[in-house]
Each structure stands twice: as C-alpha cells, then as structure tokens.
A = this chain, B = another copy of it.
Amino acid sequence: MATFEIRNTQFAQRVKDSFDRQGFMTHLGAQIDNIKAGQVEIQVPFSKHLSQQHGYFHGGLIGTIGDNAGGYSAFSLMAASDSVLTVEYKLNIMTPAKGELLVARGRVLRPGRILSVCQSDIFVSRNGIEKLCATMLGTFMTMAEAPDGPGDNN
C-alpha cells in the first residue's frame, strides 16, 4: 500500500459526513467503514430492493458502490476546502453477485492536484465467504475551494 500526503487530518470525519449527506446511500442501506488515507470500504447487505432479474445484487448497485468507494478514497486525500466529482468510471463484472453482503474496497492509485485515479474491488460475501465479483477503475476531480454540500463548513 502506498503512503500518501495527508492534507486534512480530519479526513475520516469529513468522508463520513459527506457520505451521510448522500440520500442515495441511505436508500441503499449502505455503510462506509475502514476509512484510511487513500482508501475506504463501503458495505451493502442484500435485500430484494437491490436485485436484478435473477435475484442477485444489481450491476448498477455494484457500479454505484465501486464508484463511491473510489471517489471517497480520493476525497480522503483532499484539503478541507476541496470537494470531489466523478469524471468517469469503468466497471468490469466478473461473476454474478449472489450473496448476502456486497463490499467495495476503494483505493487511490495515483493522487493528483486536479485528477486522481482510483480503483475499487467489489466482493460479494456468500455464507461468509468473500469472492471478487467486479473491479472499477475511475477518474475523480478535485474541486478546489468548493464546499462538499449543504452543511460542509470547511
């Protein structure tokens, strides 16, 4: 694991606050965890509300938490006055996401002043056994001197 420059020592709280401002994450039943400099983890337990036609986790959900885990890993390295935007992401699904828990582990491959490149591996856990089901590679942009949303006082 690479070591990154930390611009905001309160990054873990700021990532958590931003995540909590995303109505979509609540709607999905997602939680963020293991927030470190340049990496985060997002977990979603299975429910029928999250399924595709075969009853597995929906591919769009896999992409959603892959994107979000990548974005927040980039955000964790930003200054307290910056916010983050997704420029683009690509998802490769490797196996159907059949199981009781979906976990996306995002990490920064290369932090940048303007653009950061991040990757998330997405695992599905079935009967407690984790299996890699997808990977996400994306580009995230630093919005300098831009609040992260209503209630972000930095």
Chain A residues at the B interface, C-beta cutoff of 8 Å:
18-19, 21-24, 26-27, 47-55, 58-61, 63-65, 67-68, 71, 83, 85-96, 109-110, 112, 114-115, 117, 119, 132, 135, 137, 139, 141, 148-150, 152
Contact = CB atoms under 8 A, between A and B. Distances in A.
Which residue among A21, A63, A94 has the maximum number of chain B CB atoms within 10 Å of its CB? A63
15 contacts: A21-B52, A23-B48, A23-B51, A24-B51, A24-B60, A26-B49, A52-B149, A59-B64, A60-B60, A87-B92, A88-B88, A88-B92, A88-B93, A90-B137, A94-B110
B60 A68 contact: yes
Nearest to A89: B91
Nearest to A119: B135
B139 A88 contact: yes
Contacts of A135: 109, 117, 119, 137
Contacts of A90: 88-91, 137
